[in-house]
Amino acid sequence: MSILIDKNIKVIVQGITGKEGKFHTEQMINYGTNIVGGVTPGKGGGSIMNKPIFNSVEDAVKNTNGDVSVIFVPSNFASDAIIESIFSKIRIIVCITEGIPVLDMVYIKQFLKGKKCYLIGPNCPGIISPGKSKVGIMPNSIFRKQGNIGIISRSGTLTYEAANQIIQKGYGISTAIGIGGDSIVGISIKETLDLFLKDSETECIVLIGEIGGQLEIEAINYMRSKNNVKPIIGFIAGKTAPKGRTMGHAGAIIEKQIETAQSKIDIMRKNGAYMVDSPEGIGVMVDKILHDSL
């Protein structure tokens, strides 16, 4: 099984005629994702890669019944693109764009309340369920085997690294989701963890976090409250980062002691997560836990 996406989704690409949009649309099509059309204002009525182009998400939904959108538009237009998809009742919105102003995301988070919609991102690699669909920029060559391991990550490159190790050990991925590295993102680690806990075919969850914020702590406390029996393998990036300095992602800045890597590691380990000291240990730990449980 998988979470959020499957082979039946209908994907609309916002910014399909741009360089990034065009390239990654082709990659998604090659992976088997059902791309039903794209949106570029002013270019409606045309086509690209045999996919129709529309002037608005509303027109695209009306003509294709699209229920998922992926956004490849510049940061100064991205918040409007997200809101347009919400208004058009898109079920899952994946925003790849980085550099969206924090105040814009504060407004979008408020606007999302009560809506039947998940926003993944911004500044994220997207979501992928091997053998079913990919919505985003994750490399096709790595995510080639279905399985029972779920991945939640704030880092794109570490998502790929974890998936590669897991597959090298002979296991497969149910779904991998990169929630984004900004200080304010759509779907949280806790919400994603809840979806994996409810998925009958996900037996083990890899959680890759970073310094800054308390998303990982909220998620692990939630896991404890649900008496979770699924093993959680955790890694927190940024052990050597100094306090008060942004490291890589906009959200990776330590403001409180509890937001340091070591504090998060200690709290997660105390609450039952199997923590690894480096990304290279993820595949080994997955193998150990699943092998021991056989």
Which are the catalytic amino acids?
A: 249
**CA–CA separation, 53 vs 41, rounded Å?**
9
**CA–CA separation, 131 vs 175, rounded Å?**
10
98-114 burial code (b ≥16 CB/10 A, e <16): bebeeebbeebeebbee
Report the candidate in 93, 53, 94, 97 with the shortest Cα–Cα distance to residue 76: 97
Q: Using alpha carbons, list the distances in angstroms from residue 206 to 26, 195, 232, 275.
A: 29, 13, 6, 10
Other Cβ atoms less than 10 A from the Cβ of 288: the count is 15
Report the candidate in 222, 231, 224 with the shortest Cα–Cα distance to residue 188: 222
Other Cβ atoms less than 10 A from the Cβ of 44: the count is 15
8 Å CB contact between 274 and 233: yes
Q: What is the SS3 assignment for 209?
A: strand
**CA–CA separation, 88 vs 109, rounded Å?**
17
Query: Token digits for 99?
Result: 């550099």
